[in-house]
Structure 1
């Protein structure tokens, strides 16, 4: 495999139908990228391998993907839980102030007073805004991803500055 960084853009939730399709839950907001891919990398517990895409279509909140040489439900079941990755160069640049999940997860989080809170471990999608789960040395924080709380995100230095609300600090 080439040395270019791979980015996770989806996760296989289950096999779908009788033709070897995989139901994939996208992990990026711009799902249009899936419709234009010729190949992806699939990361299972055993290995990461390059797969040629035979077909992609939208289905409810997920996407249905067929790989070459994946023709039966039994073939498709082998990929349950696998991550779908692409080369970083494939995903488009986002406008300023908009970030991909992989850019946020793992970021170091500090208060405006330079107090280290922890690392972003997950992004929870809610109806109105995302919430960042931050794991510190002695506690966890749930920080709403809104401008009143998240004051600065610096992807280059892998650093986020937040202003904690009173209820969060208690």
Structure 2
């Protein structure tokens, strides 16, 4: 079975012409919501249907989508609270040193001496760079910035991240 990734949630309809308001969960809305893209709609954890994007625009904090063969509000009202997903084979190839969230969360983190520090539990994006949250046994979580000076190597094959413990990181 193909792995599917959440790209957004339909929170409401928009107007009467079959548009829906989506709270986006993707870093690539232009790619995911472009005309002709196929999205899988899930409700209560079950696949309901595949939808083809007919149009996309931004409005306030929402992505507004319409789907082929869904010309009015009555066609899309039933999709409210649905989760839009994309299959793994439709993920975009990322540039070097960029990763999808699902590739990073769960990786084991070690220092340069190969001492295990913990596992990445979350990625936060508070500002200029991402911050990786490392869950450590019997210690409080360690927050590390995703910058070259700290994250030395990300080995997806071996599920391992090597970091340099800069002074002040573990205070």
TM-score, length-normalised on structure 2? 0.78
2:80 to 77, 92, 96: 77
Q: Report the counterpart of residue 94 of structure 2 in structure 1.
A: 94
Q: Is the CA contact (8 Å cut-off) linking 2:13 and 2:21 kept in structure 1?
A: yes
Please identify, of 48-57 and 101-110, the stretch whose mean Cα deviation from structure 2 is larger.
Answer: 48-57
Gap runs ≥5 in structure 2: none
What pairs up with 1:5-154 in 2 under 5 angstroms? 5-8=3-6, 10-12=7-9, 14-18=11-15, 19-29=18-28, 31-59=30-58, 60=60, 62-67=62-67, 71-72=73-74, 74-79=77-82, 82=83, 84-138=84-138, 139-154=140-155
Deviations along 1:30-59, whole A, 9 cap, x unmatched?
A: 632420553222344442444213434131
Q: Is the CA contact (8 Å cut-off) linking 2:39 and 2:53 kept in structure 1?
A: no
Please identify, of 150-159 and 51-60, the stretch whose mean Cα deviation from structure 2 is larger.
Answer: 51-60
Q: Is the CA contact (8 Å cut-off) linking 1:26 and 1:63 kept in structure 2?
A: no
Gap runs ≥5 in structure 1: none
Q: Is the CA contact (8 Å cut-off) linking 1:20 and 1:75 kept in structure 2?
A: no
Q: Is the CA contact (8 Å cut-off) linking 1:20 and 1:74 kept in structure 2?
A: no
User: How far has the Cα of 1:125 moved from its partner?
Assistant: 1.0
Q: Is the CA contact (8 Å cut-off) linking 1:41 and 1:48 kept in structure 2?
A: yes
Mapped partners of 2:57, 2:21: distance in 1:
11
With over 3 angstroms needed to count, the CA separation of the structure-2 counterparts of 1:14 and 1:130, relative to structure 1, is: same
Q: Is the CA contact (8 Å cut-off) linking 1:40 and 1:52 kept in structure 2?
A: yes
Please identify, of 100-109 and 19-28, the stretch whose mean Cα deviation from structure 2 is larger.
Answer: 19-28
User: How far has the Cα of 1:117 moved from its partner?
Assistant: 2.2
With over 3 angstroms needed to count, the CA separation of the structure-2 counterparts of 1:94 and 1:13, relative to structure 1, is: same
With over 3 angstroms needed to count, the CA separation of the structure-2 counterparts of 1:29 and 1:119, relative to structure 1, is: farther
RMSD: 2.6
The number of equivalent residue pairs is 164
